[in-house]
């Protein structure tokens, strides 16, 4: 079902944790001491407030991971990213079985190293520290000389056996599982509903952009045609204004009206006043 897809579960968990975060923040605020003096020797209990506030921060940290993890589901709409996401989905079952076998091997070697070297090497003193040291050894962080000094035969033998089983066998099995899932995802990429929907979205956006570009081109053509017309209208307006001014001047000359006559009429009006 779609409800149980990893993307949908991540989305629902993200929303639920967001509300849980605000519930924890309001709960922490309600536990904050109401009244206390800064300069006092009396004990003020902040433990409940601090514990709930730290819990809300941890919830927020995991929620931030989910918020970014959801981007993977959105990227699966593109064929290039869908190949990667489908590979992860198809390899989930095989990888889970791999991790079960890997953890059994890690527990077996952690107990063996703890029993063999726990009394002499601090790195293998407890089961947890022994497993942590073996995990570091997978990343290349190990102390070969300490194992040889502890026991020149058992130390190198256990370590070489651990590296051969973990790196050359189990990790290569992981690569094989992911490679097989990659081939299956590549074969089923053309029939993926998400990829088809992504292509439809891209095609719809391309058509929209083409439509806008076409309208913009038509508008540009209209503007390029209108601007010369407006310039011609401006010239015609100037010509009409000149013609009207000339006609007015001709009419004044015919009627004997000029600027001096107008000035004399204005002086007579002033004297009459």
Q: Do 244 and 180 share a structural domain?
A: no
pLDDT computed for residue 1 by the predictor? 44
Residues 6 or more apart in contact with residue 148 via CB below 8 angstroms: 155, 156
pLDDT computed for residue 200 by the predictor? 61
Q: Do 241 and 164 share a structural domain?
A: no
Q: Are 85 and 75 in contact (CB under 8 A)?
A: yes
- Residue recorded with tokens 């991790």: 99
Q: Do 92 and 69 share a structural domain?
A: no
The residue length of the chain stands at: 273
Q: Do 258 and 231 share a structural domain?
A: yes
- Residue recorded with tokens 């013609």: 243
The more confident residue out of 191 and 236 is 236
The average pLDDT across 145-168 equals 86
Q: What is the pTM of this model?
A: 0.53
Q: Are 21 and 59 in contact (CB under 8 A)?
A: yes
Task: DSSP letter for 141, please.
Answer: -
Cα 173-178-180 angle, rounded to 5 deg: 95
Residue range(s) defining the domain that contains residue 240? 212-271
Q: Do 230 and 183 share a structural domain?
A: no
Q: Do 253 and 229 share a structural domain?
A: yes
Identify whether 153 is part of a domain.
Answer: yes
Q: Do 181 and 100 share a structural domain?
A: yes
Q: Do 154 and 97 share a structural domain?
A: yes
Q: Do 138 and 105 share a structural domain?
A: yes
The more confident residue out of 40 and 136 is 136
User: With bands split at pLDDT 50, 70 and 90, how would you rate the model's confidence at 69?
Assistant: confident
Identify whether 83 is part of a domain.
Answer: no
pLDDT computed for residue 198 by the predictor? 55
Give the long-range contacts of residues 14-17, CB within 8 A, separation 24 or more.
14/63, 14/66, 14/67, 14/70, 17/59, 17/62, 17/63, 17/66
Q: Do 259 and 175 share a structural domain?
A: no
Total domains in the fold of the chain = 3
User: With bands split at pLDDT 50, 70 and 90, how would you rate the model's confidence at 8?
Assistant: confident
Q: Do 221 and 138 share a structural domain?
A: no
Identify whether 59 is part of a domain.
Answer: yes
């Amino acid at each position: 079902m779609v409800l149980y897809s990893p993307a949908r579960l991540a989305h629902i968990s993200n929303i639920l944790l967001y509300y849980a975060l605000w519930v924890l923040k309001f709960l922490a605020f309600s536990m904050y001491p109401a009244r206390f003096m800064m300069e006092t020797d009396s004990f003020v209990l902040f433990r409940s407030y601090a514990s709930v506030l730290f819990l809300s921060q941890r919830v927020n940290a995991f929620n931030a991971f989910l918020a970014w993890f959801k981007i993977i589901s959105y990227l699966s709409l593109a064929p290039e990213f869908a190949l990667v996401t489908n590979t992860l989905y198809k390899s989930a079952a095989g990888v889970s079985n791999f991790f079960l076998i890997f953890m059994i091997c890690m527990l077996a070697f952690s107990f063996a190293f703890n029993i063999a070297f726990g009394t002499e090497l601090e790195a293998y003193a407890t089961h947890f520290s022994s497993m942590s040291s073996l995990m570091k050894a997978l990343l290349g962080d190990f102390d070969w000389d300490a194992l040889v000094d502890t026991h020149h035969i058992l130390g190198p033998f256990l370590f070489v056996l651990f590296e051969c089983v973990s790196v050359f066998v189990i990790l290569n099995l992981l690569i094989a599982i992911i490679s097989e899932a990659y081939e299956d995802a590549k074969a089923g990429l053309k029939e993926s509903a998400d990829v088809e929907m992504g292509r439809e979205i891209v095609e719809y956006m391309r058509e929209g952009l083409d439509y806008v570009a076409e309208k913009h081109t038509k508008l540009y053509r209209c503007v390029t045609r209108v601007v010369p017309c407006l310039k011609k209208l401006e010239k015609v307006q100037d010509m009409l204004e000149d013609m009207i001014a000339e006609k007015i001047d001709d009419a004044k000359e015919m009627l004997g009206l000029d600027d001096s006559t107008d000035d004399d009429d204005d002086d007579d009006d002033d004297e009459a006043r």
